[in-house]
Amino acid sequence: MEPAGAAADPYAGEGWREILGQGRWAPFLLICFGIWLHAADGLIVVTTIPAIVADIGGLAWTGWTFALYQVASIVAASLGGLAALRFGIGRATAGASAVFTIGCALDALAPDMGLFLIGRLVQGLGGGVMVALFHVAVTRAFPERHWTRIFAWVSAVWGVSALVGPLIGGLFAEAGLWRDAYWAFAAQALLVTICSPFLFSNVAGAPQGLELRVPWRALAALVPGVLGIAVASVVDSAGLAVLSVAVGAGFLALFFYFDRREHSPLLPERSLSEVPVRFGLLMVLCFAVATISFSVYGPLLLAQLHHVSLILAGYLIAIESVAWSVTAMMVGWVRPKGEPLCIKLGASVIALGLLGFALSVPHGPIWAIALSAALQGGGFGLAWAFIARRVAAGAIAAERERAAGALPTTQMLSYAIGAALAAIIANSLGLELATPPDRLQTIGFWIFFAFLPLTLPGFRAAWRLAR
């Protein structure tokens, strides 16, 4: 006999024992571990690259160690929904993590920068598919009433990984063992390869009878589109960066055109007419593009304008990840009736953090910069799990996998676009190796303030999503 009120409130009396019951603890652990793997490995290069260049050379190509990983991750993540439909979560995750393992091994063995870059590309391919698959896995392994709490944990793990990954890389690099850092990630990825078919065995499989085809035309446009955007963030000339973004945008327009006409589209084309999917992805697009500048240019501006050590600059940037994780955990238990407030409040706090950066980075004080980082990260933490739940739940049933996979794809692509636009702004204002302080202050203002107009469509999307 059900307790009083249980039928009226499906959330009544539910704790982690209920959420992770019936064997759901296994996919939960694997999802969290896989998110850690992708997020931490994506940033480990930040602190290992000095040791890598000292060992194998290739200083001129260091910008590509992160850019290639991001390009491959974005393209591969777009395939996550189709991979889940074609192979099932377990087999698709095993294949993606095997590719990731090979990429880590290539980096660990690299005798020169050429092979190291190939390894980063392969890691991005495997990691991008994995992160999309894990978002799909949440919607298959757990009842819809639990999605918000699981997505909150995924968000928190991502934030912690972004903090811990570079620290681990720095420890290996300082010990002269940078290759062992990549062997360590290869071993972890191999563990995912072995375990995923078993730990995802109880996850609902793909619908039977689906005829899926690889959307080659859409992929052929997506690859140069993402690459063009990424190139803009690593070239020194503002003119070349603008040209690169224009070419990339043209190919992305072709991608959207072709994808709508594919037999098996990468995007949830029919679901984009649904309010939660359309405005959830638009909100992520606007705020992700607008908020990447501090991660890209924060260390340089903090070191040259405020004379802080690189370690302290790293901690200041890490505040954003910590705030994201903490707030995500705090709101993970909010009931559906509280979701609209969290989404609107998250958007407002993100915009406040962005404005804080524009005012504090050029002139300080340091505590104001730290507060702005906490606001920006905390805003995302407040809203992210609810955005993810509403996007996945709002899609039509046949496109739920594509919608769930589209969220991390949109996030990563938006960060790449934001980094490219920030590079155009910085280079057009005269950013150099030895930039005068007054010019740095100007750059420090505009690479944040110029993105504030993007918060307006972001706000509109947030308010529509929250209805």
Measured CA to CA, the distance from residue 195 to residue 191 in angstroms comes to 6
- The answer, yes or no, to whether residue 341 has pLDDT greater than 70, is yes
Q: What angle do CA 103, 154, 391 make, to 5 degrees?
A: 105
Measured from the Cβ of residue 20, the count of other Cβ atoms closer than 10 Å reads 17
From 389, 408, 333, 406, select the one nearest 142 (Cα to Cα): 389
Higher confidence at residue 180 or residue 5?
A: 180
Q: How far apart are CA 405 and CA 86, in angstroms?
A: 14
Quick one: average pLDDT of 222-232?
89
Backbone angles phi, psi at 59, to 5 degrees: -55, -40
pLDDT digits (tens, 9 = 90+) for 363-422: 989 999 999 999 999 999 999 999 999 999 999 888 888 888 888 889 989 988 998 898
Asked if residue 362 has a cis previous peptide bond (ω within 30° of 0), the answer is no
Residue 111, helix vs strand vs coil: coil
Residue 426 placed within a domain: yes
Q: Please tell me whether residues 33 and 131 are part of one structural domain.
A: yes
What is d(CA 455, CA 204) in angstroms, rounded to the nearest whole number? 38
- CB neighbours of 311 closer than 8 A, spacing ≥ 6? none
Render pLDDT for 112-127 as a digit per residue (tens, 0 to 9). 999 999 999 999 999 9
**Which residue's structure tokens are 């606007």?**
286
In a domain, 188, yes or no: yes
Rounded CA separation 56/254 (Å): 39
Q: d(Cα 440, Cα 425) in Å, to the nearest integer?
A: 12
CB neighbours of residue 393 within 10 Å: 18
* Whether residue 255 sits in one domain with residue 274: no
In this prediction, residue 116 carries a pLDDT of 93
In a domain, 100, yes or no: yes
Return all residues near 17 (Cβ < 8 A) that are at least 6 apart.
none
Q: Domain check: are 194 and 246 in the same one? A: no
Q: Indicate whether 289 and 411 sit together in one domain.
A: yes
- Those residues whose C-beta lies under 8 Å from the C-beta of residue 209, and which sit 6 or more positions away, are none
Same domain? 171 vs 232 = no
Whole-angstrom CA distances from 155 to 69, 87, 182, 371 are 20, 26, 24, 20
Quick one: CA dihedral 150, 330, 185, 59, positive or negative? Answer: positive
Q: Shortest CA distance to 467 belongs to which of 350, 379, 337?
A: 337
Residue 51 gets the label, from left (phi > 0), alpha (psi -120 to 50) or beta, of alpha
Which of 4-13, 32-41, 164-173: highest mean pLDDT?
32-41
Q: Which pTM value belongs to this model? A: 0.86
Q: What are phi and psi of 177, to 5 degrees?
A: -125, 40
Q: Please enumerate in sequence order all residues whose Cβ is within 8 A of that of 77, keeping only pairs 6 or more positions apart, or say none.
A: 128, 129, 131, 132, 405, 408, 409, 412
| Whole-angstrom distance, CA of residue 390 vs CA of residue 342 | 13
Specify whether 139 is located in the same domain as 192.
yes
What pLDDT band is residue 21 in, cutting at 50, 70 and 90?
A: confident
Sequence letter at residue 9: D
> Do residue 256 and residue 322 come from a single domain?
no
Q: Is residue 10 part of a domain?
A: no
Angle at 280 between CA 216 and CA 8, to 5 degrees: 120
Asked if 93 and 198 sit in the same domain, the reply is yes
Last residue in a domain, options 204, 224, 254: 204
CA distance 24 to 56: 45
Task: Please state, rounded to an integer, the average pLDDT across all residues of the chain.
Answer: 87
pLDDT exceeds 50 at position 179: yes
pLDDT digits (tens, 9 = 90+) for 406-462: 888 899 899 889 988 988 898 888 887 677 889 999 999 999 999 999 999 999 999
Residue 371, domain CATH:
1.20.1250.20
pLDDT exceeds 50 at position 2: no
The pLDDT, as a whole number, for residue 208 is: 53
- Specify whether 223 is located in the same domain as 198: no
* Statement to judge: residues 241 and 170 lie in one domain: no
User: Per the domain annotation, does 209 fall within a domain?
Assistant: no
With CA atoms as reference, report the closest residue to 40 among 158, 183, 182, 155.
158
Task: Give CA separation, 295 vs 75, 76, 237, 289, 381, in Å.
Answer: 22, 23, 21, 12, 17
* DSSP code of residue 110: -
The confidence score (pLDDT) of residue 188 equals 94
How many domains is the chain partitioned into structurally? 3
Contacts of 226 by beta carbon, 8 Å cutoff, 6+ apart: 71, 74, 75, 248, 252, 413, 416
Q: Are 102 and 53 in contact (CB under 8 A)?
A: no
Largest CA distance in the chain: 74
Cα 400 vs. chain centroid, distance in angstroms?
19
Claim to verify: residue 224 and residue 298 sit in the same structural domain? no
**99 and 237 assigned to the same domain:** no
DSSP string of 100-127, one letter each residue: HHHHHHHHHH-SSHHHHHHHHHHHHHHH
User: Which two structure tokens, joined as six digits, stand for 331?
Assistant: 């709101």
Segment 290-295 shows an average pLDDT of 91
The answer to the question of residue 210 being in a domain is no
Tell whether 35 is covered by a domain: yes
Structural domain boundaries enclosing 220: 216-263
Among 248, 263, 278, give the residue marking a domain's end: 263
